[in-house]
Amino acid sequence: MVARTTGQPGASTAGDPYVPSHGNGGYHVESYELDLDYRVNSNRLSGKATITAVANQALSRLTFDLTGLRVTKVSVNGRRAARYTHRAGKLHVTPPAAIMDGAEFVVDVQYAGNPKPEDSPWGELGWEELTEGVIVASQPSGAATWFPCNDHPGDKAHYRITVTTDSPYQVVANGRLVSRRVKASRTTWVFDQAAPMATYLATVQIGRYDVLDLAASPVPTRAVLPAAQLRDFRTDFGRQQEMMKLFCRQFGPYPFEGYTVVVTDDDLEIPLEAQGISIFGSNHVDGRRTSERLVAHELAHQWFGNSLTPSTWQHIWLNEGFACYAEWLWSEAAGGPTADQQVSKAYTRMRGLSADLMLSDPGPELMFDDRLYKRGAMTLHALRKHLGDDAFFDLLRTWTRTHRHGSVTTDDFISLAATFSPDETALQELFAAWLDNYELPRRR
């Protein structure tokens, strides 16, 4: 497939070499209003998406990502689109009148079908039926399985997600629950996500869940889970509130209105993050705290990944290296192995593995490789030793404050770190050795 560049009107790629077929050029989305109707038994989704966007070039054609669902109607600024075509995951729309550079415009898309996850090099992504309910896990490219979007992490927008479904089910989506209306056997849930959010972090979770309020401060925290998991959950997540306090101290204020942990009734290979939400499988709850490091990892993504989102996927270590280091910080604070001991262990293991991963540009095949997580965390530990604890945590808090709810690159982090280091040359050498090399640097 020949990717068109962002320079062309209505380009059908955002030009991200890691996920070249997703994302589109020519506009920035300001908000998605998704009005969804879902039948659990038949896995039938029908929806209307209202996308408000601003053109950054004159547009005679617009493109959105949408896979596996059928589009029934498209309008632009309240008028029926002159033409639209939908194939190979791309919805091309010809507006009734060309859109001027800088103009705000509104696109309404009506669509329906039986959503299913999309095959990707990173496994199945997107909207997925559970035994009884739904999980949406989209990183990096699953968002288009349930709504038309500009599926690129750099295009963050406000969301209002309305879900109408069968009443016995609990629905969780991003942001604040604005209203819940029961009408006969169906319930309509409305969520508002005010802080800008990347498409891959948008989610809907549906299941027969109980709701457990865990804390009112410093962050309203709750869990949504099958009743059968309640007892084990209290053990496994019993120290999450301590983690929250630790991370608020070390990383700065929690960046969203609340935090919800969802435990699905099904097993999941790995837990995953969404904005303001983390999703775990039943297999991560066993009453023995086996997955506690993952509880820390997912919580840390609220700062690193969700509030500060990589501008392009190349910068994924800013998510995973930081979340992995948060595991070690938690371990250290909780009286387990120190970060230094964790580094030694990881370092020894990594020496036995092939040196073909460059942290600053790992390539799409290795973007979720365990070595990226560990080497990213080791980089932060080397930086901590270089700066000293006070300056290091000050840097982390300044990082999350300066780029709160924004998009970030590795260079942004390096530039900020430079303002905390007394020795610019040594710092540049440190980053070059850890980020831009395949070989593992010598440990100091």
Q: Is 202 helix (H, G, I), strand (E, B) or coil?
A: coil
Give the Cα separation of 21 and 18 in Å (integer): 9
Of residues 192 and 320, the one with the C-beta less far from Zn ion: 320
Give the Cα separation of 148 and 91 in Å (integer): 8
Touching Zn ion, residues 322-341 (CB under 5 A): 323
Helix, strand, coil percentages in the chain from 3-state DSSP, rounded to 5: 30, 30, 40
Q: Which residues contact 217 (CB under 8 A, 6 or more apart)?
A: none
Of residues 10 and 305, the one with the C-beta less far from Zn ion: 305
Terminal-residue alpha carbon distance, the chain: 47
Task: Outline where DSSP puts E strands in 99-251.
Answer: 104-113, 118-120, 123-130, 133-137, 157-166, 170-173, 176-183, 186-197, 204-207, 210-215, 221-225
How many residues interact with Zn ion (rule CB under 5 A)? 2
**Bridge-based pairing state of the strands 44-55 and 104-113:** antiparallel
Chain center to CA of 133: 21
Q: Is 393 helix (H, G, I), strand (E, B) or coil?
A: helix
Minimum distance from residue 302 beta carbon to Zn ion (Å): 11
Interaction pattern, residues 301-320, with Zn ion; x per rule: CB under 5 A: -------------------x
Of residues 236 and 320, the one with the C-beta less far from Zn ion: 320
Minimum distance from residue 52 beta carbon to Zn ion (Å): 30
Q: Which residues form the catalytic set?
A: 298, 373
Of residues 232 and 320, the one with the C-beta less far from Zn ion: 320
| Cβ-closest position to Zn ion | 323
Minimum distance from residue 292 beta carbon to Zn ion (Å): 15
- On whether 92 is known to bind a ligand per the annotation, the reply is no
Give the Cα separation of 65 and 146 in Å (integer): 10
Of residues 202 and 323, the one with the C-beta less far from Zn ion: 323
Minimum distance from residue 142 beta carbon to Zn ion (Å): 15
Residue spans of alpha helices (H) in 200-307: 230-236, 240-251, 292-300
Minimum distance from residue 70 beta carbon to Zn ion (Å): 33
Query: Binding site for Zn(2+): which residues?
Result: 297, 301, 320
Residues near Zn ion (CB under 5 A): 320, 323
